Structure 1
Amino acid sequence: MVKLFRLLKPYTAYIFAIVALLFVQVMSDLYLPTLMADLVDIGIVNKDINYIIRIGSFMLLIAAGGTLCAIIAAFLSSKTAVGFGKIVREKLFSRVESFSLHEFDSFGTATLITRTTNDVTQIQNVSVMILTMMVTAPLTSIGGIVMALRQDTSLAWVLVVVIPILFSIIGVTLYKGLPLFKLMQEKLDKLNLVLRENLTGIRVIRAFNRIDKEKVRFDDANADLMNNAIKINLIMAALMPVMMLVMNLTSVALVWFGAIRIDSGDMQIGSLLAFIQYATQILFSLLMLVMLFIMIPRAEVSAVRINEVLETGLDIKDPETPVKADHAKGVVEFKDVSFRYPGADQPALSKITFTAKPGELVAIIGGTGSGKTTLINLITRFYDAENGCVLIDGTDVREMSQKALRAKIGFVPQKTVLFSGTVAENIRYGKQDATLEEIKHAADVAQATEFISELEKGFEYTIAQGGTNLSGGQKQRLSIARALVRKPEIYIFDDSFSALDFKTDAKLRAALRPEIAEATVFLIAQSVSTVRDADKIIVLDEGLIAGMGTHTELLNTCEVYRELVASQLSEEELR
């Protein structure tokens, strides 16, 4: 947690102000019982009304000043803690955004969401407690002991007995509660995972009539979290009555033994009242420390989880001195490239070598798991090659900045992703400064204008999160328009026409040709009919290039391609 507190540097002035204000508040709180003792022993005993009014007014002034300091300190503490939480969330989001797909996979979406929300909230809450109680409690405790001894030293033995008992209670509480607090965040991760899978997969769940099973799965995760929370709450619930019992017994002991000393003339009533108040302040300060010690373990667990994200080494980083490609053309070269997913026994790609030039349509085809999408992920540098190198315009992609590399690429992913916002905003996602004319032109080419014009408000129609208020074909066309508006040097279509009907597919391809004529185009597809007109077809089989050439050439030279063709096309279609 100390590592995270370094992020509080922008709030250094606030922290010093909080410490100063809380110091004044504690001093005023400690001074009031002494004034009360004088009020009783001098003013009330001697029936000196003027003294009572003077000291009483002074007490009101001291109390008002202490209260004002406490209010300002609480305001600054809250502002500091909330600002600290904002900084941590920004750091987390920025770090996660720079993760490669491997780092995403190693953490998982559910836990990254929990760490950015719930874990940061835990840190934020404990920061408020630390900023106030870490100053107030020790000062009150130490100052209370000093001021109590000034009133009477003989009653100090009561505190000597009570304080170790309180520390023992604190120790037992922490011993029992700390393991449960660690489990709390893990069980919250599990609940978030189940909930997220249910929300994103609701169509599949309903289609297969698995609602009851998913309810049981959610109930199990929910009950697991609840049972852990109950155990923690039972410990916390038992703590407060025990603490209050100790405090009340302390007050009784002080009154009992103080009365004996008053009766013998060794102590005055005002001094006893002040001693009881100081003892109460001491015990309450220890109780505040207990509450802080209860929150710190859970916050410490959250801090560890946050630091795991912030300190995760990045597989894919920009070079210190990025190299610019000499000629901005879009030539893509694979030179003896091999890649293996972390933990996999077999490589996903092995010894891949080819060149794709501007003006070429390069199709990549192969069976499921043959490495088609993996190959594309190496071009976009979502992963880095294990061996060999991927070059764009003669420059290794690892020597380019990720921003410069991806500015060259227009990517249409296999799984269409749209964002909440308008249709125009989603298309403009490909080019932030795109004009309305450019957006409309991209929509025309992607064959999206017809259905957009039928939507309420047209290009200003609001798309729901994930594009749930659009059909699969409509989402796919908007995704294609988003890539087109970018006008990149390299286009990647990862099975991007699968949701389109034959007529729309044909019209889209005809409109695409002049748009992408000067670019390097990669087309991934499962269907032979989709790739047969490509300038170059790369056939992948178990991560290896089984064949490369035109449709006609591959029919004569590649057995794998012939098998794919035979399984998909009839004799008449082959002619």
Structure 2
Amino acid sequence: MLKELFSYMKQYKKYAWISLVCIAVECIFELVIPLIMADMVDVGIANGDQDYILHKGLVMIGCAGLALVLGICSARFCALCGQGFGANLREAEYRKLQSYSFSNIDHFQVSSLVTRLTSDVTVIQNSVSTGIRLLCRAPVMLFMATGSAFVINARLALVFLVALPVLGFLLFEIVSHVGPLYTKMQTGIDRVNRIVQENLTAVRVVRSYVRENYEQAKFDDANLALRTESEKAFGLSSMNMAAMQFVMYGTILAILWFGGSSIRTGTMQVGELTGFLSYVLQILNSLMMLSNVFMMLTRSMASGTRILEVLNEKVEITEEKARPVSVKKGAIRFDHVFFQYSKNAEEYVLSDICLNLEAGQTIGIIGQTGAAKSTLVQLIPRLYEATKGCVYVDDVPVQEYPLEHLRDAIAMVLQKNTLFSGTVRDNLRWGKEDATQEEIDEACRIACVDEFIDRLDNGYDTELGQGGVNVSGGQKQRLCIARAILKQPKVLILDDSTSAVDTATEAKIREGLKAKLPEMTKIIIAQRISSVRSADQIVILDDGKINAVGTHEQLLAENRIYQEIYHSQQEGGAL
């Protein structure tokens, strides 16, 4: 897993290597200082030689200064490496998300994807920024300080043979138990993000139903669960310090005991014991750094697993069969198409769909809620892939079109209209980035946006709030239709996208589409018969199957479902 993650370090590896060299040399200078100090005590102080003491003191200051400079350099290069690595990981995740089909996105919660793109990447990024220094410094200090300690007094250094196994056992126990807790903690962050996201998105619904207290209680439960998991994880990881201090103080006491005995017997000098204790502290500090590395690595592994789940998600819709073909007319054919969201589902959402839509026609699709009308049209631009059968555009299977071209040739206005922060003009140019003002005006006339655009504060330059909160539902739908028209697609799909528009304005939009865009294939999904009655063909979907196909007059005369919908809407005044 680590190898796969670090492949995203790419051009920042050079900073990692430079920092490693700086750290290694820094450690050498730091390790020389105790040797100089021991020599200064045993020779200079013991003989009262002030020149010798001054000379050794200046050497020690020089070594410390060089170590400081190298430490600053290593910290800077580690930061560059970590931040660059994090940026590459985020970019890779975001690019992978852009390649996901709807079915891939269905495998994750949106809040979880946000956490994996932000919090999880930050955990790994910080681990690299701080971990490179610790990971290099600790082994160098450990081995060199241990060697130096054996050089000073091999018998006294045998104390480490008892201390190190004890410390290793304690650290193993802590690390093995804290890993699963970090995974639970990140999952808890997912849940908190999901609740916040849902609450902010549906804030008007929450207020209108006076459910603030319920939402607050739900958030408190999730927040408490996250706090509990965090306390468990960090509480257990904090035992790392306690274990280190236990071993460190025990080792120091043992060395002072045995070292003091050696000084009394004359087998060891005071300077040697002083230098030895300095190395002991460096050894124990290096072990503490290693334990911190293990802690960071444990948490990074939990976050890395979650990130790789996103990066390694198999994209279900690929361009393996694509060839250089383009949509010329926009004729559509469904050939015995079946579809199910999950391979393990017991039933098909769509069953044996056979349908032929000629180029330039206006096709209406109507049916009860849950009849899979939206699912049917989402198979055309390959937002979902047909489970069985084939969808053709201009007698070419959709799998053989390059995805970018296919989706560019098909404009969809989905049930849930989405506008982005920015001006009205910016949102319209999502359909065509280089659209001229004349093209924008024409698309707005067809979609009846011209009826209200002048009433906005700054016309096309009016700033829209997040999600278009400062325009009405009907205005939002018309802006989305204009944006789709501006693409000049071969196929235009309106998925119940005039539900918030009054019938008179809807009729104008239909007339504008028919008069100004006669060669464009238009598919209209609607709940109101008035929205589809003038269509060349009307398709009735019932429980994922085609019940009937015909004109308004034919279906009204022959089809029971259509008659029931017609009469119910007539009684309700919808016609």
Instruction: Tell me the TM-score normalized by structure 2.
Output: 0.96
Q: Give the aligned partner of residue 170 of structure 1.
A: 171
Report the identity percentage.
39
Contact 1:540 1:547 in 2 (8 A): yes
Contact 1:547–1:557 (Cα < 8 Å) also in 2: no
From the superposition, tell whether residues 503 and 65 of structure 1 become closer, same or farther in structure 2 (CA, over 3 Å). Answer: same
Letter in 1 for 2:274: L
Q: Equivalent residue for 2:313?
A: 312
Cα deviation, 1:121-155, whole Å, max 9, x if unaligned, reads 11111112331111111111011100111111121
Distance 1:160 1:224 in 2: 42
Show the counterpart of 2:198: 197
For 2:79 and 2:479, the matched residues in 1 are separated by 44
Secondary structure, in 3 states, of the residue corresponding to 1:107?
coil
Structure-1 residue corresponding to 2:141: 140
- C-alpha displacement at 1:570, in angstroms? 5.2
The aligned counterpart of 2:377 is 376
SS of residue paired to 2:524? strand
Cα drift, residue 573 of structure 1: 9.7
Of the structure 1 ranges 26-35 and 503-512, higher mean CA displacement relative to structure 2 is found in: 503-512
Q: Distance in 2 between matches of 1:440 and 1:84?
A: 45
Residue 354 of structure 1 aligns with which residue? Answer: 355
Change over 3 Å in CA distance of 1:555–1:507 after alignment to 2: closer
Q: Distance in 2 between matches of 1:470 and 1:368?
A: 27
* Aligned equivalents of 1:418, 1:255: Cα separation in 2: 72
1:61-80 equivalence runs, <5 A: 61-80=62-81
**Conserved in 1, the CA contact under 8 Å of 2:331 and 2:359?**
yes
Q: Map Cα deviations across residues 428-453 of structure 1 (whole Å, 9 max, x no partner).
A: 01112212332233223222234332
> Could you say which residue in structure 2 is the equivalent of 1:253?
254
In the alignment, residue 526 of structure 1 is paired with which amino acid?
Answer: Q
* Offset at residue 514 of structure 1 (A): 2.3
Partner Cα distance (2:455, 2:444) in 1: 13
Residue 491 of structure 1 contacts residue 521 of structure 1 at CA under 8 Å; is this kept in 2? yes
Aligned residue in 1 for 2:453? 452
* 159-168 or 303-312: bigger deviation: 159-168
Q: How far apart, in 2, do the equivalents of 1:221 and 1:479 lie?
A: 36
Bigger Cα displacement from structure 2, 454-463 vs 425-434:
454-463
- Higher mean displacement: 287-296 or 236-245: 236-245
Deviation at 1:379, TM superposition (A): 0.8
User: Matched residues in 1 for 2:294 and 2:212: separation?
Assistant: 42
Report what 1:495 is aligned to. Answer: 496
Deviates more, 1:454-463 or 1:302-311: 454-463
Residue 323 (structure 1) shift: 4.0
Q: Note if 1:85 corresponds to 2:78.
A: no
Query: For the aligned residues, what is the CA RMSD?
Result: 1.8
**Correspondence for 1:25:** 26
Tell me which residue corresponds to 1:565.
Answer: 566
**Residue 332 (structure 2) aligns with:** 332
Q: Where does residue 443 of structure 2 map in the other structure?
A: 442
Shifted more, 437-446 versus 191-200: the winner is 437-446
Write the letter of the residue equivalent to 1:265: G
- Which runs of no fewer than 5 residues in structure 1 stay unpaired? none
2:57 paired with 1:56: yes
* Contact 1:159–1:279 (Cα < 8 Å) also in 2: no
Q: Distance in 1 between matches of 2:101 and 2:113?
A: 14
Give the TM-score, by structure 1 length.
0.96
Aligned to 2:96: 95
- The separation in 1 between residues aligned to 2:154 and 2:189, in whole angstroms, is 51
The Cα offsets for residues 218-253 of structure 1, whole Å up to 9 and x where unpaired, read as 111111111111122322334324422432332233
User: 2:280 matched to 1:279?
Assistant: yes
- 1:187-233 deviations in Å (ceiling 9; x for gaps): 22122222222121222222222222221111111111111111223
Question: How far has the Cα of 1:94 moved from its partner?
Answer: 1.0
DSSP 3-state at the match of 1:465: coil
Q: Using the TM superposition, give the Cα deviation of residue 313 of structure 1 relative to its aligned residue in structure 2, in angstroms.
A: 1.1
| Shift in alpha-carbon separation, 1:3–1:435, aligned structure 2, 3 A | same
Deviations 1:441-481 (A, max 9, x none): 32232222343322233222221211122211111111011
In structure 2, distance between residues paired with 1:59 and 1:450: 82
Cα distance in 1, alignment partners of residues 35 and 553 from structure 2: 102
- Report the CA distance shift for 1:473/1:295 in structure 2 as closer, same or farther (over 3 A): same
5+ residue gaps in structure 2?
none
The structure 1 segments of at least 4 consecutive aligned residues displaced by more than 6 Å after TM superposition are 571-574
Change (3 A) 1:476 1:571: closer
Contact 1:323 1:395 in 2 (8 A): no
2:531 matched to 1:530?
Answer: yes
- Equivalent residues in 2 for 1:173-188 (5 A)? 173-188=174-189
Helix, strand or coil at the partner of 1:7? coil
Amino acid at match of 1:457: N
Q: When the two structures are aligned, how many residues end up with a matched partner?
A: 573
Q: State how 1:449-488 maps to structure 2 within 5 Å.
A: 449-488=450-489
* Cα distance between partner residues in 2 of 1:80 and 1:175: 28
